[in-house]
Amino acid sequence: MRDIDPLFQAMSYYRRRKFEQCVEITSTLLEKNPNDQVAWLLKMRALTEQLYVDETEVADDGLADMLDDNAFHQTPMPGTSMRQPTANTNAGMSGPSPAMRPTTMAGRPITGMLRLNTQSTQGGKSMENALKTARTAATARPVTTATGRFVRLGTASMLSTPDGPFLQVGRLNLPKYAQNQAISRSLFEHLFYHANDVRAALQLATHANEVYQNKDWWWLAQLGKCYHRLDMIRDSEKQYVISLEIQPMVDTYLYLSRIYLRLDQPLLSITKLQEGLEKFPFEPCLIQAIARIHEGLNDMTQSIEYYRQVLKLDNTNIEAIACIAANHFYNEQPEISLKFYRRLLQMGVATSAIFTNIALCCFHAQQYDMIVACFLKALGCATSDDERAEIWYNIGEMALYTTDINLAIQCFRLALVHNNDHAEAYNNLGLVELQRDNNEIGQIYLQTAQSLAPHMFEPYYNYGKSMYEQGDLQSSFRAIKSSLDIYKNHADSKHIYEELRKMFSEL
Amino acid sequence: MSLFKAREWWSCQVGSGEEFDYGCLKVGSFTENPNNKIIVGSHQGILRIFNPSGSHVDSMSNNYASDLLLEKNLGMPIIQIEIGKFVSSSPMNQIAVLFSHKLSIYDYIEQAGVTEHGRQFDLELNYEHNMNRPTFNMCKGQFGSGGRGNKESSDCEYICVQTLDGVLFVFEYERQTMIKSLPHTYLPGPICYLSRSDAIVTVSSNYHVECYKYQALAIASGADHGSSSNNDARRKGLDIDPSLSVSQSSKKVLPDWSFNLGECALGIQTTQRIRNASQTILVLGERNLFCLTDNGQLIFMSKFEYNPSTFVVYNSEVSQSDASNPSVRYIIGTHSRTLFIAQDGHIRWAAHVDSVPVQIEVATIQDIRGMICTLSETGLLQCCYLGTDPVSTSIPTIMSSTMINVEEAEEQLTKLNKQIKQAMNDPTLVVKRKSNAQVTIQIDDTNQFSTTDETRFQRHDVESTVPSLCVNIRVKSSEAIQNTLLTVHVHTPLCAQPNEIRMGHIGGISAIGTASIVFWMRDDLTPWNLEATFTVSYNTMSDNVCQTIQKSYKLPIKLVARSYQQPISATTADQCKITLGANKPVADLNRVFPELSTGDTNQQQGLTVRFYGSVENVSILASSKSQKYRFQSDSLASIWLFSNLLIERLSASSSIEFEFGDPLPLNDYFSIIDRHYELRVECEQINSTLEISSKQFRAIQKRLLSKFKDKTPSLLDNLDILLENTNQQILALADRYEQSRYELNRCSHDLSCATKLICLLLKISVSLSSDNAQLLNAILSPVTSDDNEQGWEETVDAAVNYALRTVLARSKSAELGSMPSTIGNSTTNMDINKLKKRIQTLCERLEKGGSLVSSSSTRETNLSPDSAYSSTSLSTRKEKPIASNRRKKDDDEDTEIPNGDHEDVFRMLPSTNARKQYNNEDDDN
């Protein structure tokens, strides 16, 4: 019986995404015959595919990006920029207030799903704020530079080829390869994703575009990608636009929208995505991108509207379900939220976060029988200390609601054992201690919470109130002012503020 | 992620250890019977035909023997299977099997037996085509019908085989009609036949969908059977028999149309053709699904959030009946084990399957239409339908849901709560338990010296081999301790290796942690302290409180100094001489310093030594006549260690008292202070220059960057040269800084030594009590820290100033609350002369009998300057030449302070009057 052809076997492995075996076979083929271009091409593709990252999802603006002055306006009109979503950071927000819905470190309402960029500052803060943000384990401080992640990808590629890099990038005759249509595209992807050599990739793309006389949308889009990676935003935009003129593609629209986000033009970004939607009316990715931008602009109603559209097209979209569920939860509709979370659970997303959320929904929907079981499951599912800390914190909240102070203290302490930077736990622990008349301990806890989470107004308010009650009016005034800085319309803070002001003016 | 599972109707594991890929599964029927049979061929060459009979009986036992109609080993790897009318004479369907080097057409023969079990099935080879190169895939179609394919011509189906190097072979039944190599094919892509335009659609290696008219291909394949051209370029060196090469026409075929996908494709399929309505082409890319019209226009695309594995386009009756609204339906299988059933761009249903499918087919089985057949790469063949079975995800079971005994649990809870409460409220609980562990450090001096040359001596004129000493440390504990860490600290010219030892767990009474540490002198600086400090930090097992114990150990002087045979000519060059008188006859220096003695006993009472890495001699002379010891050296600093050692050793053996009658060598001391201060200022200056030039460097960089970023290229304006120059300047400054730091370090060590010496001499000369000596040591601190903003000068100035104003104050104005204004000033602003003057005043006041111990402050010290002078005990007192006039002025000022203040009851609180006074005085100074 004749054996199967090794090249066919390799291609079959490639199809089935068994890239390691594919690389193995092609490597032996190349050992036998170093000039075998087909095997070389296949090996290159397999290596690339191992490290492929969807470029439309990459995120995390680095600190270096913040120094950039790509944004159009330094002081943009309200509602037109991620920097200043609305004129009044809180008043104009359509949706729940920070008192109801906690905010992220960047001052945005917490989102339903963790994805890249939700943790970072989203360019929404000035440089000083970014540097000022507390440095905890899960810090909101941006990565030092955008290249950090890419460098790691590059080293990952070194790992996958332990005998040294597959290609000697410096020795490639790029103009020659650019002539060869079949090889050049794979070579480009290899350079871009695997070798992580954007400069060489850019050269290749430039040569190829000369060959095609700028008529090939793919090469134009790739050129744009290179410029984007090199932070040449305007050049990148130009390439994407030409590429879209030749051939509209979903990915290109997404790239273009990312460019406008970098330029801090979220409305233009949405416009472009909507243009894309006219061409591809059934594309959930585009709608999802619009929803994310609206979320970034604090426009919750719009955002949820678009997430609903995503679900109409693709009812298995986890992000959309999670975001809608979170929105319902914070809008005091825990029963509806519970339904969404249950659906996620049924779809197989059995993480500790889901169980915790279900438990919280159950509590607020007054289905008390499920709470303990859900929390137990959540604790069982939890894989990281951070998750455990969050779960224990939430259990502590439940204990507070049921006025089981001792249990609450124990839970908060457990949360702090798992994550020593858990500001919310410190805050609540401080409150409990204040209530038990351990004023000094309580104030220390509150101060810790303040230093850990400068984005939360609660520790400031609590501290201010406790100081007010004790008669340290100066400290109280200072704390209340910080609280109002963070959340302008907090009524209780305003009340104390007014009283203090009256008192001071009488003096 | 999907809400529901695909419900399994029938399944079986095909073969074992066999591999399957796209193409290995085909569903079809051979007769008019609408029920489909499932044909599976493996890469190992075994063909199987299944006729699933239903699940209700057999699935429990997994007995599919009666469902397996035929299993045949065909002896060659099977790449693809097709069913169609491949024989012109027969109305029945045949099976086309594509092997790795061969295409065979088999007839399916079914012989009915008497009973159901008696039926026989067989495959009979109808014809075959051998191929000289490995095949890749095939498709069937009515090639050459010119797109007019009507009912009658659809009876005949031809086969097009694509080889691994991209050559198309078209077989019309037994005849081979065309060989044509597609241009630019490196890796062959999927192919399919487009019947409306009679064309073959494929995805080429350059990520384009290309459509070739069969007509164009057939013409181009033409006559000449010349040599192959593009193969050789691609797989150069691969020994292909030239006779095997296919006919290649010289002219290239151009595609009818092409569409740029931008990614490579996993599969390509078309919708079935209904009359003359246009067909739709679906391309499954790696990241997107593309839907094209049959003339190459994009209808829609959808982006995947997953990795697709395979797909199938299926036609339902709805779309057939309603041709005006052509919607395309397809199923995508993913590597995340989900089937997506989609219509156009909408995902209609998602179903979870048990394995990653490599091929999906839709079949009619047992009169059930729309059964989904999936095949995994390991050969799991499943027939599923869509249902609402929830996906059974493994939710972790936390605890058995046994009934909890409430009373017991409550009891346990209260017990635990009590314990917790106790632990939280009782602070002694923690403290009480820790005291049990007794940890001791034992030091065994092996006294074994070896030499090392791991030195960093900067003066190259001295040899760099110095002795090193190995010391064994034993840490004993009476109780088990953990996280034990031993750290060793020595003062800088000396170093310890290793200086940190992790001992981890030391358990039980007998267990001992041991370590051996090597000490040697690493830098060529004047040593000022030979003490080594061993610190052990540990946690006891019972609580997690970290505890430490410390032990210090004096290293032998032999580590840093050696005896030196002095050339006679150089004896008189010594600048510093310190003479100590003693009340006992002088001891034999060779006995006092046995480790430094040359062994030359007949030498007169004298010893000359040198520090390692130094060219300065220190000679110690003992004069038996006058009972005096004399130290001579080039610098004050080197004397300290030996004088201290001598005093220590002689005092240890007998109660001996020394006296020092000469004036303090303050001149030498002040020159060291001056030098130290100068160096500090220099370092600071270099630092600030460095800051300026690096600022400049960054500014130039920024300029350059904006120039490079600019759209319109402009001249660099020599900015690059400026950048280069600035860089060099920075480097030069950094070098200078390093050198200054080294000098500063040297000087600091000298200063430490000299300070200690001054303190020692002061102590001897006025025979201070030990309390006083300790305080003096604290005021004139030998610890120099050059890294802080606040250097030695500032701290000592502050301390001396404070001492002068409080305990040594002439008048008891008691300015306790005032702080000297020097702190916080930058180094350059400091008045070094004032410091020197103050130190001198301090010395004088001490000599006059002032005491530093605070109780003495109540003593009557209200002496006039003159009486203070006369009260000095030592007869050898001479007036010091330095700053004597200034001292007078100082004294005058002191007398200006009103004396009545010391009767103030609230001495601790400075009165405003006093503060004003103080400020005035400070201004005057």
Q: Do B473 and B486 touch, CB atoms closer than 8 A?
A: yes
Q: Do residues B542 and B612 share a domain? A: no
Cβ contact, residue pair A283, B302, below 8 Å:
yes
- pLDDT value, residue B755: 87
What confidence tier does B509 reach under pLDDT thresholds 50, 70, 90?
A: low
- Taking alpha carbons only, the member of B568, B576, B637, B574 closest to residue B604 is B568
Token pair in block for residue B902: 């010391």
Q: Which range is most confident: A287-291, B805-809, B840-844?
A: A287-291
d(CA A146, CA B781): 50
Pairing of strands B576-582, B606-611: unpaired
Partners of residue A36 in chain B, C-beta under 8 Å: 235-238
What confidence tier does B653 reach under pLDDT thresholds 50, 70, 90?
A: confident
- pLDDT value, residue B734: 93
Cβ contact, residue pair A15, B22, below 8 Å:
yes
In a domain, B397, yes or no: no
Q: Do residues B539 and B573 share a domain? A: no
* Average pLDDT for chain B: 75
What confidence tier does A68 reach under pLDDT thresholds 50, 70, 90?
A: low
CATH number assigned to the domain comprising residue B469: 2.60.40.10
In a domain, B120, yes or no: yes
Q: Which chain B residue lies closest to A178 (C-alpha atoms)?
A: B206
Cβ contact, residue pair A283, B79, below 8 Å:
no
Listing DSSP states for B630-679 in one string gives EEEESSHHHHHHHHHHHHHHHHHHS---EE--SPP-HHHHHHHHHHHHHH
pLDDT at residue B862 greater than cutoff 80: no
- Judge residue A222's burial from the number of C-beta atoms within 10 Å of its C-beta, 0-12 exposed, 13-18 middle, 19 or more buried: buried
Q: Do residues B357 and B441 share a domain? A: no
In this prediction, residues B482-499 reach a mean pLDDT of 83
Q: Do residues B783 and B652 share a domain? A: no
The dihedral built from the CA positions of residue B647, B650, B653 and B659, taken in this order, carries a sign that is: negative
Q: Do residues B612 and B731 share a domain? A: no
Spell out the residues 6+ positions from residue A298 whose beta carbon is closer than 8 angstroms to its own. Answer: A85, A86, A92, A93, A94, A95, A108, A109
User: E strand or H helix at B124, and its extent?
Assistant: strand B120-130
Partners of residue A16 in chain B, C-beta under 8 Å: 21, 309, 356, 358, 377
Q: Using one digit for the tens of pLDDT, what is the confidence trace for B340-388?
A: 998 887 888 888 888 899 999 988 888 888 889 999 988 888 888 888 8
Q: Using one digit for the tens of pLDDT, what is the confidence trace for B239-287?
A: 444 444 444 444 577 888 888 888 888 899 888 766 667 788 899 998 8
In this prediction, residues A181-195 reach a mean pLDDT of 86
- Taking alpha carbons only, the member of A51, A4, A61, A63 closest to residue A23 is A51
pLDDT at residue A405 greater than cutoff 50: yes
Q: Do residues B550 and B649 share a domain? A: no
Q: Do residues B318 and B206 share a domain? A: yes
Listing DSSP states for B572-614 in one string gives GG--EEEEEEESSPPPPHHHHSTTT--S-TTS-SEEEEEETT-
Q: Using one digit for the tens of pLDDT, what is the confidence trace for B38-80?
A: 999 998 889 988 888 765 554 444 556 677 888 888 888 899 9
Cβ contact, residue pair B260, A247, below 8 Å:
yes
In a domain, B413, yes or no: no
**Structural domain boundaries, residue B69:** 4-234+243-390
pLDDT at residue B236 greater than cutoff 80: no
Of B21, B417, B420, the CB nearest to A16: B21
Strand, helix or coil for residue A41: helix
Cβ contact, residue pair A33, B235, below 8 Å:
yes
Segment among A221-235, B208-222, B413-427, B861-875 with least mean pLDDT? B861-875
Number of structural domains in chain B:
4
- pLDDT value, residue A150: 53
- pLDDT value, residue B403: 64
pLDDT at residue B419 greater than cutoff 50: yes
- Taking alpha carbons only, the member of B794, B789, B796 closest to residue B830 is B794
Q: Which of B659, B687, B721 is the last residue of a domain?
A: B659
Closest Cα in chain A, distance from residue B595 (Å): 56
- pLDDT value, residue B692: 93
Give exposure, B506-544, as e/b (b: 16+ Cβ within 10 Å): beeeeeebebebebbbbbbbbbbbbebebbbbbbbeeee
Q: Using one digit for the tens of pLDDT, what is the confidence trace for B176-193?
A: 888 888 877 888 889 998
**Beta-bridge partners for B473:** B443, B515
CATH number assigned to the domain comprising residue B167: 2.130.10.10
Partners of residue B2 in chain A, C-beta under 8 Å: 316, 347-348
Q: How many CB atoms lie within 10 A of CB B738?
A: 11
Cβ contact, residue pair A36, B238, below 8 Å:
yes
Pairing of strands B102-111, B120-130: antiparallel
pLDDT at residue B228 greater than cutoff 70: no
pLDDT at residue B35 greater than cutoff 50: yes
Partners of residue A6 in chain B, C-beta under 8 Å: none
Q: Do B270 and B192 touch, CB atoms closer than 8 A?
A: yes
What confidence tier does A259 reach under pLDDT thresholds 50, 70, 90?
A: confident
What confidence tier does B113 reach under pLDDT thresholds 50, 70, 90?
A: confident
- Taking alpha carbons only, the member of A251, A289, A246 closest to residue A271 is A289
pLDDT at residue B389 greater than cutoff 90: no
- pLDDT value, residue B94: 87
Q: Do B160 and B190 touch, CB atoms closer than 8 A?
A: no
pLDDT at residue A164 greater than cutoff 70: no
d(CA B320, CA B343): 14
d(CA B304, CA A21): 25
Strand ranges for A125-259 from DSSP E? none
What's the DSSP call for residue B559?
G
In a domain, B300, yes or no: yes
Q: Which range is most confident: B471-485, B554-568, B883-897?
A: B471-485
In this prediction, residues B646-666 reach a mean pLDDT of 79
Angle at B50 between CA B46 and CA B52, to 5 degrees: 155
Q: Do residues B683 and B653 share a domain? A: no
Listing DSSP states for B695-713 in one string gives HHHHHHHHHHHHHHH-SS-
**Beta-bridge partners for B48:** B40, B71
pLDDT at residue A163 greater than cutoff 70: no
- Judge residue A7's burial from the number of C-beta atoms within 10 Å of its C-beta, 0-12 exposed, 13-18 middle, 19 or more buried: buried
d(CA A493, CA A486): 11
In this prediction, residues B698-719 reach a mean pLDDT of 83
Look at the block and give the residue holding tokens 């007078």: B888
d(CA B797, CA B667): 18
- pLDDT value, residue B359: 92
d(CA B547, CA A295): 52
CATH number assigned to the domain comprising residue B634: 3.30.310.200
pLDDT at residue A71 greater than cutoff 80: no
Cβ contact, residue pair A316, B347, below 8 Å:
yes
d(CA B387, CA B380): 20
Cβ contact, residue pair A15, B266, below 8 Å:
yes
Q: Using one digit for the tens of pLDDT, what is the confidence trace for B198-207?
A: 888 998 888 8
pLDDT at residue A57 greater than cutoff 80: no
Cβ contact, residue pair B205, A282, below 8 Å:
no
d(CA A65, CA A476): 38
Q: Using one digit for the tens of pLDDT, what is the confidence trace for A319-368?
A: 888 888 888 888 888 899 999 988 888 887 778 888 888 898 998 888 88
The dihedral built from the CA positions of residue B349, B353, B359 and B364, taken in this order, carries a sign that is: negative
- Judge residue B593's burial from the number of C-beta atoms within 10 Å of its C-beta, 0-12 exposed, 13-18 middle, 19 or more buried: buried
Q: How many helices and strands (H and E) does chain A possess?
A: 26, 0
pLDDT at residue B194 greater than cutoff 60: yes
Q: Which of B370, B390, B410 is the last residue of a domain?
A: B390
- pLDDT value, residue A242: 92
Q: Do B341 and B353 touch, CB atoms closer than 8 A?
A: no
**3-class SS shares of chain A: helix, strand, coil, % to 5:** 65, 0, 35
In this prediction, residues B585-592 reach a mean pLDDT of 74
Q: Do residues B583 and B498 share a domain? A: no
In a domain, B128, yes or no: yes
Q: Which amino acid is at B462?
A: V
- pLDDT value, residue B225: 42
- pLDDT value, residue A302: 87
d(CA B170, CA B152): 20
In this prediction, residues B850-855 reach a mean pLDDT of 64
Segment among B419-428, B434-443, B600-609, B666-675 with least mean pLDDT? B600-609
- Taking alpha carbons only, the member of B489, B466, B468, B486 closest to residue B476 is B486
- Taking alpha carbons only, the member of B525, B543, B643 closest to residue B593 is B643
Backbone angles phi, psi at B442, to 5 degrees: -115, 140
Q: Do residues B620 and B548 share a domain? A: no
Strand, helix or coil for residue B268: strand
d(CA A131, CA A147): 19
- Determine the residue among A11, A16, A340 to mutate to test chain B binding: the one whose Cβ has the most chain B Cβ atoms within 10 Å: A16
Q: Do residues B817 and B852 share a domain? A: yes
Q: Do B644 and B761 touch, CB atoms closer than 8 A?
A: no
Q: Do A196 and A148 touch, CB atoms closer than 8 A?
A: no
In a domain, B732, yes or no: yes
pLDDT top residue among A10 and A88: A10
Cβ contact, residue pair B45, A318, below 8 Å:
no
Q: How many CB atoms lie within 10 A of CB B642?
A: 23
pLDDT at residue A507 greater than cutoff 90: no
In percent, the amount of chain A with pLDDT more than 70 equals 78
Spell out the residues 6+ positions from residue B505 whose beta carbon is closer than 8 angstroms to its own. Answer: B480, B481, B482, B483, B484
Give exposure, B206-219, as e/b (b: 16+ Cβ within 10 Å): bbbbbbbbbbebbe
Token pair in block for residue B150: 């009507």
Partners of residue B19 in chain A, C-beta under 8 Å: 12
Q: How many CB atoms lie within 10 A of CB B297?
A: 10
Token pair in block for residue B797: 């100035």
The dihedral built from the CA positions of residue B130, B132, B137 and B141, taken in this order, carries a sign that is: negative
d(CA B831, CA B53): 106
Q: Which of B372, B390, B408 is the last residue of a domain?
A: B390
What confidence tier does B917 reach under pLDDT thresholds 50, 70, 90?
A: very low
- Determine the residue among B4, B79, B186, B266 to mutate to test chain A binding: the one whose Cβ has the most chain A Cβ atoms within 10 Å: B186
Instruction: Using alpha carbons, list the distances in angstroms from residue B171 to B3, B86, B127, B246.
Output: 47, 10, 11, 15
Q: Do residues B450 and B577 share a domain? A: no
Q: How many CB atoms lie within 10 A of CB B281?
A: 24
d(CA B614, CA B145): 104
